[in-house]
Amino acid sequence: MKTVLITGVSGLLGSNLAWCMKERFHVHGVYHTHPVKIVGVDTSPLDILSADGVRKTIESVGPDIVIHCASLANVDLCEKHPEEARRIHGEGTTNIVEALRGTKAKLIYISSDSVYEGVQGPYPEDRGVAPRNVYGRTKLEGEKAAAVHPDHLILRTNIFGWNIQDKTSLAEWILRELRAGRTVNGFQDARFSCLYTFELARLIELAISKKLTGVYNCGTSTACSKYEFACQLAEIFGLSEDLVKPALLKDSALMASRGQDLSMDVSSFENALGEPMPSTSACLTGFYRDSREGIPAKLCYGAKKARSSLFRIPYGWHDIDPTDIEAVVEVLQSGSLTQGPQVKAFEDALGDVTGAKHSVAVSSGTAALHIACLAAGVGPGDEVITSPITFVASANCAVYCGARPVFADIDPKTWNMDAETLKAALNPKTKAVIPVHFTGQSCDMREIQRIVRDAEKKFGRRIFIIEDASHALGSFYRERPVGSCNWSDMVVMSFHPVKHITTGEGGSVFTQSEELAGSLRRLRSHGITNTPGELTQPAPGPWYYEQQDLGFNYRITDLQCSLGLSQLKRLPEFIRRRKEIVDRYNKAFQGLENITIPFESPECRSNRHLYVLLFDFKAIGKSRAEVMGELKVRGIGSQVHYIPVYQQPFYQRNFESSPNDFPAAEKYYEGCLSLPLFPAMSDEDVESVIAAVTQMEKRRGGVC
């Protein structure tokens, strides 16, 4: 395996080349001021302006190939600091050439289309070299320095790709703006041949194999304007093209002079390689494919901090992109960090998604469950019925209010609350029913509502229905969004990091009732109101407030809500990717003898929050712990959702329940295991999980 040394590995191009080439080369990357770590790549610091440092690095690494990407790539910054640009591009390149003297290493120098005049393209390599800004002139100096090396390859290019730092390439910036619903101004009079970095990596490897030397244009086969580029990008990613507006370069306030037509004639490189260069459309399609496969999450974030300390593929993971980060930073720089406009904006956006009239955002899903019970008047002497297959908070909320939690067994197919067992559990003490939409699939709410309403008539008592939809943002039941409160009094959701969208911690209660909404808002904020219509007496002044209930500090912050608002815009994208993964899982596992795939009711459209398989561990010949251990060895996380709540020591001590009362829950718990499911999973991740599970089944049968 040949050794490749890449300079500027902390930059967009250097990091992308390292990522693409690490499987076929031993890659060593050097950075200057921004340390980075990339799995499978050795990295170390180096100042290329230190001739001695460059020499020692070359001697230590012993590269067969040096790809020189280190650059001051900000065109306007070069204009402000011309001497720094000259030193980095010219002197730095000279240091590398000198250090390579006497070696057999190949030098690949990454140059720019900015070396051309930019008046009338497409430019072949031997025409129009007349840079109009400091960046172009100093990159041309770098070319001349690189050409001194006997085995040199100089590639003039213009690129887009994935940043490992908190920066954005042109394509990333366009995506960020469009996803945020902001206008993008694209220059109609600026043409270029912009190439996707992953395509450039492939072409460099091909050029290495063909031992090419000399100077070549390396861009797309089809040039386009930056306006056309943005429109194509929007179309491929399914974003609004209406937000892309035409603009003129000549009207911009950019500092450095820029060529209007920097398109390149790439025929010489095509002939040398023996294949055509990719089109702009092909590059953008590849960019979309890699986005879907989780490259940004793996490179841009996973490169700097492990996604999980234990697992290469955890069972669940949040997806934070630069748009989310920018949204939070904007609030940090604003005058309001908590209880400001972002809270109301987030609540309104949630209402738009669910169809609920009122959304009351709080600090967690647990807090949402608690105040929903309080608003329903749950208290000592009452009973609250919920599912045993859920997180403990679904039952704890009743205990917080002094009530007794009661469990109704699950349906063995859907794993949700079984309507018939609910009917048997209802009694004169029942104050509330909390059906849990497990894994994102809605309970049969129409039937549950019918049963509860019949019980109300029978017992002469109001019984509240509170849907625990912590798993179900974006799900539908009977073509109505979960959260609409069409079959309930209130709906609760959670925004924990493993949920569909995250606010870090956070939750919300939805209702169509003005009275319940008012109570919920007071309860989340100490039971206090300063709203004139809610005060028990006329307010003596603008400072006045009243504590009407014993409430709590369950308020959510503007910081959290700004993140939630940003995440909410990506909800359809998250659901679409989860469905793709689940469909692939189902196809792979449905024929396995001792594994049962999830059932989805035709009345529901699940958001696919969790992917749970039922294993016949006895038939497989392994315990659940052994299966989880084998997955862990492969770097694959798994989880159990959930241990039946009534089995927990607290519930055994305080609310005795017999496992014999819940045969379906017991059977489910005996075999359940959740596999990884989150939008940033790549297709490769999915196939790794499938291979690990199916190979266990094959080994059991003696195939492997």
Catalytically active residues, by annotation: 499
- Radius of gyration of the chain from its Cα atoms, rounded to whole angstroms: 30
Give CA–CA dist 257/133, Å, rounded: 6
Give CA–CA dist 277/268, Å, rounded: 10
CB 261 within 8 A of CB 225: no
* DSSP string of 361-423, one letter each residue: EES-HHHHHHHHHHHTT--TT-EEEE-SSS-THHHHHHHHTTPEEEE-PBPTTT-SBPHHHHH
Give CA–CA dist 681/326, Å, rounded: 23
Tokens of 221: 């086969």
Give CA–CA dist 173/321, Å, rounded: 11
Q: Residue 386's closest CA among 399, 368, 371?
A: 399
377 phi and psi, to 5 degrees? 80, 20
Tokens of 303: 């490169």
Q: Which 8-state DSSP code applies to residue 300?
A: I
Neighbours of 286 (CB within 10 A): 17
Angle between helices 12-21 and 197-209 (to 10 degrees): 60
Tokens of 236: 């491929």
Q: How far is CA 190 from CA 158, 225, 226, 609, in A?
A: 13, 5, 6, 44
Cα 90 versus chain centre, distance: 40
Q: Residue 184's closest CA among 236, 224, 229, 251?
A: 229
CB 140 within 8 A of CB 146: no
Q: Which 8-state DSSP code applies to residue 501?
A: S
Using DSSP's 3-state secondary structure scheme, residue 189 falls into: coil
Cα 249 versus chain centre, distance: 34
Residue 611 CB partners (closer than 8 Å, separation 6+): 439, 581, 582, 585, 598, 674, 675, 676, 677
Q: What angle do CA 256, 257, 260 make, to 5 degrees?
A: 135
The amino acid sitting at 660 is N
Q: According to the 3-state scheme, what is the secondary structure of 570-600?
A: CHHHHHHHHHHHHHHHHHHHCCCCCEECCCC
At CB < 8 A and 24+ separation, what contacts does 256-259 make? 256/75, 256/76, 256/78, 256/79, 256/133, 256/134, 256/135, 257/132, 257/133, 258/75, 258/114, 258/118, 258/132, 258/133, 258/190, 259/114, 259/116, 259/117, 259/118, 259/119, 259/132
Tokens of 369: 């469950």
Angle between helices 514-523 and 365-375 (to 10 degrees): 120
Q: Residue 414's closest CA among 645, 598, 614, 603?
A: 598
Residue 658 CB partners (closer than 8 Å, separation 6+): none
Q: What angle do CA 227, 230, 235 make, to 5 degrees?
A: 125
Give CA–CA dist 541/550, Å, rounded: 23
